[in-house]
Amino acid sequence: MKIAMIGSGAAGSVFAAYLRRGGADMYLVDKYKAHMDKIAAEGLTFRCKGEECVLTGFHTTDSALNLPEMDIVILMVKATQTDGVMPEVMHCVGARTVVVSLQNGIGNDEILMKYVPRGRIMYGAGVIGTELAGPGVCVSKPEDGVQMFFGAAEKSPETDAAGRYLEEAFEAGGCHASFEEDVRVLLWKKAVTNSGYNAVCAVTRLRLHFVMDNDWGMKLLMNVWREGCAVAKALGVGDIWPLIEADIENLRANLGDYYPSMAQDAVLNRRQTEVEVLNGAIAMYGERLGVPTPYNSVLADIVRCVQANYANQYGAENG
Q: What is the DSSP letter of 99?
A: E
pLDDT per residue as tens digits for the range 255-312: 888 888 899 899 988 999 999 999 999 999 999 999 999 999 999 999 999 999 999 9
Q: How many residues does the chain have?
A: 319
How does residue 318 score in pLDDT terms, banded at 50, 70 and 90? low
Query: Which residue type is seen at 202?
Result: A
Angle between helices 248-255 and 184-204 (to 10 degrees): 50
**Of 155-159, 248-252, 274-278, where does mean pLDDT reach its minimum?**
248-252
Residue 298: which H helix or E strand, with range?
Answer: helix 294-307
Reported as a pLDDT band with limits 50, 70 and 90, residue 99 is very high
pLDDT at 144 over 80: no
Q: Does the CA dihedral 181-195-192-128 come out positive or negative?
A: positive
Is residue 2 within 8 Å of residue 67, measured between CB atoms? no
7 Cβ contact partners less than 8 Å away, ≥ 6 residues apart: 29, 30, 75, 76, 77, 78, 81, 85
* Domain residue limits, the chain: 2-181, 185-312
Predicted pLDDT at 239: 96
Q: What are phi and psi of 131, to 5 degrees?
A: -145, 150
pLDDT at 128: 87
**In this structure, CATH architecture of domain 2-181:** 3-Layer(aba) Sandwich (3.40)
185-312: which CATH topology? N-(1-d-carboxylethyl)-l-norvaline Dehydrogenase; domain 2 (1.10.1040)
pLDDT per position as a tens digit, 57-72: 999 999 999 999 999 9
Strand stretches in the chain, DSSP E: 2-6, 25-29, 44-48, 51-55, 59-61, 70-75, 93-101, 121-126, 128-134, 137-142, 148-152, 177-180
**Cα 39–Cα 61–Cα 92 angle in degrees, nearest 5:** 135
CA 301/CA 279 separation, integer angstroms: 9
pLDDT at 314: 86
**Does residue 21 surpass a pLDDT of 60?**
yes
Q: How far is CA 288 from CA 206, 209, 231, 234, 291, in A?
A: 32, 33, 10, 10, 8
One-letter identity of residue 198: N
Contacts of 101 (CB under 8 A, 6+ apart): 74, 75, 82, 108, 109, 111, 112, 121, 122, 123, 124
Q: Does residue 194 surpass a pLDDT of 70?
A: yes
The predicted model gives 44-52 an average pLDDT of 95
Helix, coil or strand: residue 223:
helix
- Please, what is the average pLDDT of the chain? 95
Pairing status of strand 44-48 against strand 137-142: parallel
Q: pLDDT digit string (tens) for 213-238?
A: 999 999 999 999 999 999 999 999 99
- Of the chain, the percentage scoring pLDDT greater than 70 comes to 99
Which residues share a beta bridge with 59? 27
**In angstroms, rounded to a whole number, what is the distance separating the alpha carbons of residues 107 and 184?**
11
237 phi, psi to nearest 5 deg: -70, -35
pTM for the predicted model, two decimal places: 0.85
pLDDT for 129 equals: 82
In this predicted structure, what is the pLDDT of residue 69?
A: 98
Q: Which residues make Cβ contacts (< 8 Å) with residue 223, sequence separation at least 6?
A: 295
Residues with Cβ < 8 Å from 218, sequence gap 6 or more?
Answer: 211, 212
